[in-house]
Amino acid sequence: MFNTDRRYWGWGVNGNAFPEPMLQLARAFLTAKFGTAPAAQRPVPSLDALRMNAPTLAVPAALAAFVTDARYDRAVHTYGKAFRDVVRALDGDFTPAPDLVAYPRDEQDIVALLDWAARAGAVVIPFGGGSTVVGGIEPPREAGARRAGVITLDLCRLDQVLDIDRVSRCARVQGGVYGPALEAQLKPHGYTLRHFPQSFEFSTVGGWIATRAGGHYATLYTHIDDFVESLRLVTPAGVLQTRRLPGNGAGPQEERLLLGSEGVLGVITEAWLRLQDIPRHRAGCTVKFADFMAGAAACRELAQGGLFPANARLIEREEAMFMGAGDGQNHMLVLGFESARYSQIDRLQAALAVCAAYGGVAGKSNVRDDSDAASADASAEQWKQSFLRAPYLRDELARMDMVSETFETCTTWENFPVLDAAVRAAAHAAMQRECGAGLITCRFTHLYPDGQAPYYTVIAPGTAGRQLAQWDAIKAAVSGALVAHNATITHHHAVGRDHRPYYLQQNAPLSLAMLRAAKAAVDPQGIMNPGVLLPPDQD
């Protein structure tokens, strides 16, 4: 029932590998950087070779039309898409696989499944695109936490835009629709959601809402939160439908309780989403900075000055070069403005003046105003391709025994320099200890008037058989620095199982008690995604 081209071991689909010439460039860069060439790519284990336990649940006769225990379906729903997932998959370790996978056709199927799971004492894991990088859809390993068994509920058949309100410019959308299918259904109407996380191709509306995803745009509408007008959630205790309101001052906002609930409260089956007109006017430019902190100061002024660039990605020089952009000498600010209605050249020029005041040197020929839709689409497509290819490279690096992963956070402008120094010191010490060397680079993904979201990339020469332990040690070190300096454990990657200890540490005990109380109200038997957000024994 699932697209059998989807990889069970890594990102994306079979046959869509990272291009070999670009892989050779990456190899050359890493060889020069670390003094030794990365290992040859190790083979991917076949489906038959995966280590997987026999299912502890039989497919219930009443649900047989949409539930399976097939090996491929169980494998492809075992892990998310983090580096640690890829490494375990390459090792053939699929022991946490769900016992059953359900592909409900409609909301009635979901209600029937939750009823059956509650009676059977089974655990239910909502699954969108499975692009989580924090263990959000990974079944528990411990027998106690698995209870009678684990059933993963994949929403891929709930993939429709059901209704469009042109007057209010909103759409009613099913939770299982993937990014490209959503945009394809909106485009004929002249609309876009304009929410483009890097994982756009293989993630869903329900997943974005459940994780409070951050899109590609740097300012203003960045989180999916901004686009959610109302929600529909199927819980073990019944269906919760919030009302369509552009604003609502009556008590705590219901949608806010559900956004970021990561499958522990119920299944998001539908949402009314706020749309935008398709942008036609664009103006963009890259700006070089010799000093990263000068670039950061320019970003702060841009964020506080009310220009609201759609794109303002400050990328450290080595990262830009590794991704095939930049000159390796300068840090790079990728700056872009867009609008459906108005030319953006004036805004771009105002932003370039801000950058110049901090020593930023604008690339000459990149200033443009794509008021004709054809060329705007072509350039958007070019950007999209290089952006979407990056995850395939990460998986190839894992196959070469490298340690290669990202982590992200958010902090105030005032706190950034101290935090950044602490994160780099922790990363370097851990990489040196674990791998003998390593590279950490930073880029800003989102800007706010009071702070920014730094996104770090780590690459280190790993050791076959030790990659997981090496990354876990580096991650623990950098997470410790984030916590010590009061930066969030995640700006948009969510909590899942992996960030749970830090989330519990960072949030007030009373907030967590409120979350537990909310869960007890809608999921009294604690069957929904135990171990995510809260520890299993408190679910």
Q: Does 155 bind ligand FAD (CB under 6 A)?
A: yes
Length of the chain (residues)? 539
| CA dist., res. 72 & res. 6, Å (int) | 10
Q: How far is CA 476 from the centre of its chain?
A: 20
Among residues 96, 136, 309, 451, the one that binds ligand FAD under rule CB under 6 A: 136
The helix/strand count (H/E) of the chain reads as 16, 19
Among residues 267, 302, 355, 460, the one that binds ligand FAD under rule CB under 6 A: 267
Minimum CB separation from ligand FAD for residue 80, in Å?
6
Amino acid identity at 99: D
Minimum CB separation from ligand FAD for residue 479, in Å?
17
Size of the site for ligand FAD (CB under 6 A): 38
Q: Does 129 bind ligand FAD (CB under 6 A)?
A: yes
Q: Does 312 bind ligand FAD (CB under 6 A)?
A: no
Stretch that binds ligand FAD, among 112-120, 203-211, 288-296, 316-324 (CB under 6 A): 203-211
Minimum CB separation from ligand FAD for residue 268, in Å?
4
Minimum CB separation from ligand FAD for residue 503, in Å?
13
Among residues 98, 206, 326, 531, the one that binds ligand FAD under rule CB under 6 A: 206
Amino acid identity at 268: I
- Considering Cα of 411, then 416, then 418, then 420, what sign does the dihedral take? positive
- The nearer residue to ligand FAD, 210 or 352, going by C-beta atoms, is 210
Interaction mask 374-413, ligand FAD, x per CB under 6 A: -----------------x----------------------
| CA dist., res. 352 & res. 369, Å (int) | 15
- Phi/psi class of residue 487: alpha, beta or left (left: φ > 0; alpha: ψ in -120 to 50)? beta
DSSP per position, 462-517: --TTTHHHHHHHHHHHHHHHHHHTT--S-SSS--TTTSHHHHHHHS-HHHHHHHHH
Q: Does 203 bind ligand FAD (CB under 6 A)?
A: yes
Among residues 78, 185, 204, 409, the one that binds ligand FAD under rule CB under 6 A: 204
Q: Does 268 bind ligand FAD (CB under 6 A)?
A: yes
Q: Does 354 bind ligand FAD (CB under 6 A)?
A: no
Q: Does 199 bind ligand FAD (CB under 6 A)?
A: yes
CB 136 within 8 A of CB 209: no
- The nearer residue to ligand FAD, 57 or 533, going by C-beta atoms, is 533
In the chain, what is the greatest distance between 2 CA atoms, to the nearest angstrom?
70
Report in angstroms the alpha-carbon separations of 449 from 291, 296, 496.
21, 12, 28
DSSP 459: E
Q: Taking the chain, what is the end-to-end CA distance rounded to the nearest angstrom?
A: 31
Q: Does 360 bind ligand FAD (CB under 6 A)?
A: no
Among residues 80, 98, 236, 336, the one that binds ligand FAD under rule CB under 6 A: 80
Stretch that binds ligand FAD, among 138-146, 211-219, 303-311, 476-484 (CB under 6 A): 211-219
- The nearer residue to ligand FAD, 280 or 313, going by C-beta atoms, is 313
CA atoms within a 13 Å half-sphere pointing along the CA-CB vector of 534: 24
Comparing CA positions, the residue from 287, 284, 344 lying closest to residue 320 is 287
Q: Does 126 bind ligand FAD (CB under 6 A)?
A: yes
Applying CB under 6 A, which residues contact ligand FAD?
Answer: 11, 80-81, 125-133, 136-137, 155, 175, 197-199, 203-204, 206-208, 210-211, 213-214, 262-263, 267-268, 391, 492-494, 529, 532
